[in-house]
Structure 1
């Protein structure tokens, strides 16, 4: 946050100086460069997530609790993990259904969600084209989950049974480090 505020202040100072000097072309380049630097700073703090087949929408941002800009998201056993996907829809749909899969190698397993109806869990349905929506899901990472690398796929499916968005989050299920007992 500090870096974004600093960048904006720097932009204002440079703009005033260059405008006073009459250097409009240089001013435009400075504005463009500062904008790119601010946006890239914001993106650095976001989670690495891939589009895995969004057909009727566009992913804007994905946030997973406990995962701060890491390439592989740690999912800690015994905790709740909250995922928020911000997206735009390209289609109108009366319904939106969530599905979450865990993928290990060639094996893919669907997770049972407390409520797969995304319209009941934060998305205002019907969804419309060019509108922005936030879908939030909290999943408990159970003690019986194996401590392995897993790709988490979040699908939001419209009423024609097509993915509005599909997000792939490279993850690793982790637990507490074993306790070391000293023998005296």
Structure 2
């Protein structure tokens, strides 16, 4: 009973801070919530040269997930391209919060601290960002889409 109360409380807190994001189009599992820090509604304004911080709250959707990798695709002006991430960011297991570690088990409740750097040379445009968390078999564990507006750097 205590564990259920703690889980319900955690979900309530996560939902209160959640950013309104969309599901991916290929039917991948949707996270419990996504908090884009300092952004409640899409599109999120992001200055060039800054790091967008996201907390992705998801459940393990199968047993014994040994590795999880964050894969980003960015779409702007009708063109979708992969957005390569440094290993220290794309390695979800390395960036789990609250003491969680891999392997992840089915129904395990975890939060990934995702830091998405906006290159200072990136043009000032609207971008659809898809983050898919995939396991060692390239199967999706959680996926979402958010919209950002890249702005001039804050001086």
TM-score band, normalised by shorter chain: 0.7 to 0.9
2:55 aligned residue? 84
Unaligned runs of 5+ in 1: 1-38, 180-184
1:172 aligns with 2:149: yes
Count of aligned pairs: 137
Look up the SS of the partner of 1:59 in the other structure: coil
Pick from 108, 113, 118: which aligns with 1:141?
A: 118
Task: Write out per-residue CA displacement over residues 47-101 of structure 1, whole angstroms, 9 at most, x where no aligned residue.
Answer: 110110453x44111011231x223111111212111100112212111111112
> 1:49–1:143: structure 2 CA closer, same or farther, 3 Å change rule?
same
Task: Write out per-residue CA displacement over residues 94-121 of structure 1, whole angstroms, 9 at most, x where no aligned residue.
Answer: 1111111211243212222122221122
The higher radius of gyration belongs to 1
Question: Alignment RMSD, CA only?
Answer: 2.4
Task: Considering Cα pairs closer than 8 Å and 6+ residues apart, tell me whether 1 or 2 has the greater RCO.
Answer: 2
CA distance in 2, matches of 1:152, 1:76: 15
Unaligned runs of 5+ in 2: 1-11
TM-score (norm 2): 0.77
1:159 aligns with 2:131: no
Give the conservation status (yes or no) of the 8 Å contact 2:15–2:33. no
1:12 aligned residue? none
Give the conservation status (yes or no) of the 8 Å contact 1:66–1:74. no
User: Equivalences for 1:1-184 in 2 at 5 Å?
Assistant: 43=15, 46-52=18-24, 53=26, 55=28, 57-67=29-39, 69-92=40-63, 93-115=65-87, 116-122=90-96, 124-176=101-153
Give the conservation status (yes or no) of the 8 Å contact 2:59–2:106. yes
TM-score (norm 1): 0.66
